[in-house]
Amino acid sequence: MPVVYSDKVDSILSAGVWLGPHHRNWALKREQALTAISCLRDAYCIVLGGDVLNGPDKNYSHTYDNWFFQPSNPPVPGDVPSSALKAIAYVRDYPLDEAYFVLVPLPSMTA
Protein backbone atom coordinates (compact mmCIF):
# COMPACT_ATOMS: atom_id res chain seq x y z
CA MET A 1 0.00 0.00 0.00
CA PRO A 2 1.39 3.44 -0.85
CA VAL A 3 1.99 6.04 1.85
CA VAL A 4 -1.01 8.36 2.06
CA TYR A 5 0.04 10.98 4.63
CA SER A 6 3.28 9.77 6.24
CA ASP A 7 4.44 6.49 7.72
CA LYS A 8 3.58 7.70 11.23
CA VAL A 9 0.15 9.13 10.38
CA ASP A 10 -0.75 6.13 8.24
CA SER A 11 0.15 3.78 11.09
CA ILE A 12 -2.22 5.71 13.39
CA LEU A 13 -5.11 5.74 10.93
CA SER A 14 -4.62 2.14 9.80
CA ALA A 15 -6.44 0.96 12.94
CA GLY A 16 -9.52 1.49 10.79
CA VAL A 17 -10.82 -0.08 7.60
CA TRP A 18 -8.85 0.78 4.42
CA LEU A 19 -11.19 2.40 1.90
CA GLY A 20 -8.77 2.28 -1.05
CA PRO A 21 -7.84 2.32 -3.73
CA HIS A 22 -10.36 4.95 -4.81
CA HIS A 23 -10.71 6.60 -1.39
CA ARG A 24 -7.21 6.78 -0.01
CA ASN A 25 -8.05 6.85 3.68
CA TRP A 26 -9.38 4.75 6.55
CA ALA A 27 -12.81 4.55 8.19
CA LEU A 28 -12.62 4.37 11.97
CA LYS A 29 -15.25 3.43 14.55
CA ARG A 30 -15.92 6.06 17.21
CA GLU A 31 -13.43 4.74 19.80
CA GLN A 32 -10.78 4.17 17.11
CA ALA A 33 -11.30 7.72 15.85
CA LEU A 34 -11.02 9.21 19.34
CA THR A 35 -7.79 7.28 19.95
CA ALA A 36 -6.44 8.29 16.53
CA ILE A 37 -7.19 11.97 17.19
CA SER A 38 -5.26 11.82 20.46
CA CYS A 39 -2.36 10.07 18.74
CA LEU A 40 -2.34 12.63 15.92
CA ARG A 41 -2.29 15.42 18.51
CA ASP A 42 0.63 13.74 20.28
CA ALA A 43 2.41 13.51 16.89
CA TYR A 44 1.87 17.29 16.42
CA CYS A 45 -0.54 16.84 13.52
CA ILE A 46 -3.44 19.19 12.92
CA VAL A 47 -6.75 17.46 12.22
CA LEU A 48 -8.18 19.51 9.36
CA GLY A 49 -11.56 17.81 9.66
CA GLY A 50 -13.34 14.65 8.75
CA ASP A 51 -16.28 12.94 7.15
CA VAL A 52 -18.88 10.61 8.60
CA LEU A 53 -19.74 7.35 6.87
CA ASN A 54 -22.38 4.70 7.32
CA GLY A 55 -21.07 1.29 8.33
CA PRO A 56 -20.11 -1.74 6.29
CA ASP A 57 -23.76 -2.81 5.89
CA LYS A 58 -24.17 0.32 3.73
CA ASN A 59 -20.78 -0.02 1.98
CA TYR A 60 -19.25 2.86 3.94
CA SER A 61 -21.46 5.36 2.12
CA HIS A 62 -21.33 9.04 3.03
CA THR A 63 -23.82 10.51 5.47
CA TYR A 64 -22.77 13.94 4.17
CA ASP A 65 -22.02 15.02 7.72
CA ASN A 66 -18.58 16.48 8.33
CA TRP A 67 -16.57 19.02 10.25
CA PHE A 68 -13.54 21.15 9.50
CA PHE A 69 -10.89 23.12 11.30
CA GLN A 70 -9.28 26.18 9.74
CA PRO A 71 -5.68 26.43 10.97
CA SER A 72 -3.85 29.73 11.24
CA ASN A 73 -1.99 30.94 8.17
CA PRO A 74 0.73 29.84 8.56
CA PRO A 75 -0.19 27.07 11.03
CA VAL A 76 0.96 27.65 14.62
CA PRO A 77 1.60 25.07 17.36
CA GLY A 78 -1.63 26.08 19.15
CA ASP A 79 -3.62 24.79 16.16
CA VAL A 80 -2.71 21.20 17.11
CA PRO A 81 -4.63 20.99 20.41
CA SER A 82 -7.43 23.24 19.10
CA SER A 83 -8.03 20.99 16.10
CA ALA A 84 -7.94 17.89 18.30
CA LEU A 85 -10.49 19.35 20.72
CA LYS A 86 -12.85 20.21 17.87
CA ALA A 87 -12.49 16.75 16.31
CA ILE A 88 -12.94 14.95 19.64
CA ALA A 89 -16.08 16.94 20.44
CA TYR A 90 -17.59 16.24 17.02
CA VAL A 91 -16.84 12.50 17.07
CA ARG A 92 -17.84 12.04 20.71
CA ASP A 93 -21.14 13.90 20.27
CA TYR A 94 -22.14 12.42 16.89
CA PRO A 95 -25.62 10.94 17.42
CA LEU A 96 -25.34 7.66 15.46
CA ASP A 97 -23.53 4.91 17.35
CA GLU A 98 -22.71 2.87 14.25
CA ALA A 99 -21.06 5.72 12.32
CA TYR A 100 -17.53 5.56 10.98
CA PHE A 101 -15.22 8.55 10.77
CA VAL A 102 -12.62 9.51 8.16
CA LEU A 103 -9.98 11.86 9.55
CA VAL A 104 -8.05 14.33 7.41
CA PRO A 105 -4.77 15.30 9.09
CA LEU A 106 -2.20 17.87 8.14
CA PRO A 107 1.29 16.34 8.35
CA SER A 108 3.33 16.93 11.48
CA MET A 109 4.44 20.45 12.34
CA THR A 110 7.81 19.06 13.46
CA ALA A 111 10.64 17.78 11.33
**Is 96 within a domain?**
yes
**Is 15 within a domain?**
yes
How many domains, in total, are found in the chain?
1
Give dist(CA 91, CA 70) in Å, integer. 17
User: How do residues 2-22 score in pLDDT, each as one tens digit?
Assistant: 789 999 999 999 999 999 888
Provide the residue type at 6 as one letter: S
User: How do residues 37-82 score in pLDDT, each as one tens digit?
Assistant: 999 999 999 999 999 999 999 999 999 999 999 999 999 999 999 9
**Is 71 within a domain?**
yes
Band (105; pLDDT cuts 50, 70, 90)? very high
Give dist(CA 68, CA 3) in Å, integer. 23
Q: Which domain holds residue 53?
A: 7-105
CATH code (residue 14): 3.30.190.30
pTM strictly above 0.85: yes
